[in-house]
Amino acid sequence: DTGVSQDPRHKITKRGQNVTFRCDPISEHNRLYWYRQTLGQGPEFLTYFQNEAQLEKSRLLSDRFSAERPKGSFSTLEIQRTEQGDSAMYLCASSLAQGHTEAFFGQGTRLTVV
Amino acid sequence: GNSVTQMEGPVTLSEEAFLTINCTYTATGYPSLFWYVQYPGEGLQLLLKATKADDKGSNKGFEATYRKETTSFHLEKGSVQVSDSAVYFCALTGNQGGKLIFGQGTELSVKP
C-alpha cells in the first residue's frame, strides 16, 4: 500500500467553474477525512466518512461543496461555482475507526481559482 | 468548542540548540493530543501523540507531555538538526477520536 493518494496534485480553474478532487485512502481504513489548508494556517476540518456514511460536516462547508464516498473506498470532493476564496490546499486523510488511531494524510490537491 | 493555540513562528535556531514549541488547548472531556510535522514539499505526518493525562509521546528525539492541569502539550527537543526544519502542528481529537482540530502551525528553521 502506498498510503493516501490524491488526484490531481494541482488544479487551476477559472472562477465559476466546477472542480472535483479524488482521494484514495489506505485500503483497510474505514474513516476518511477532508481538510482545507490556507497559507500560514493549520488544516481546517471539512467533513468525514465512516465507510460510505458521511458522519459530520463542518458548518464552514458551504452548499457549493459536496463530498461522496459511494462504496466506502475512494472519495470525491466537488466544489461548484468556484470562488477565489476557495483557493487552498485540500487534504485528505484516512484512519481506522476505533480509538485514537493515527490519521494518515495525502499530499493534497492545491486549488488555484483565477 | 475545542481549539488549539500554538506559539507563533517562524522560529529560527542554530544546530544543536534546544527547541520548545508551546501548545495549549481548550477541550471538553478527555482529548487525545498530537504533533504533526510537514517537511518542505511533503504531506503531514504524525510525529508523536499522547492519549491521556501525564502520558509522554516521543519520537525522533522529540518529546511532549500531556499536562491536563495546564492544558498544554509543549514540543521539545534537546538538540535540533538542520533536517528538523519544517512546520509543526499541534492537534487534538475529542473523546471518541475522529476529526483533528489543528493549531495554526509553527515554522522551524534550523541553521548550520
Mutate to test the interface with A, among B44, B45, B87, B106 (most CBs of A within 10 A): B44
Phi, psi at A85, each rounded to 5° = -70, -10
Q: Sorting pLDDT into bands at 50, 70 and 90, what band is B96?
A: low
Nearest CA in chain A to B49: A102
Nearest CA in chain A to B46: A102
Mutate to test the interface with A, among B49, B100, B106, B107 (most CBs of A within 10 A): B100
From A95's Cα to the closest Cα of chain B, the distance in A is: 9
> Out of A41, A56, A99, whose CB is closest to B99?
A56
**SS3 (DSSP) at A68:** strand
So what's the pLDDT on residue B56? 97
So what's the pLDDT on residue B95? 66
Residue located via cell numbers 458551504: A62
CA B56 to chain centre: 12
114 residues of chain A, pLDDT tens digit each: 579 999 999 999 999 999 999 999 999 899 999 999 998 899 999 999 999 999 999 987 889 999 999 988 999 999 999 999 999 999 999 998 766 678 999 999 999 999
Query: How far apart are alpha carbons B25 and B33 in whole angstroms?
Result: 9
Are A91 and B51 a contacting pair at CB < 8 A? no
Q: Sorting pLDDT into bands at 50, 70 and 90, what band is B10?
A: very high
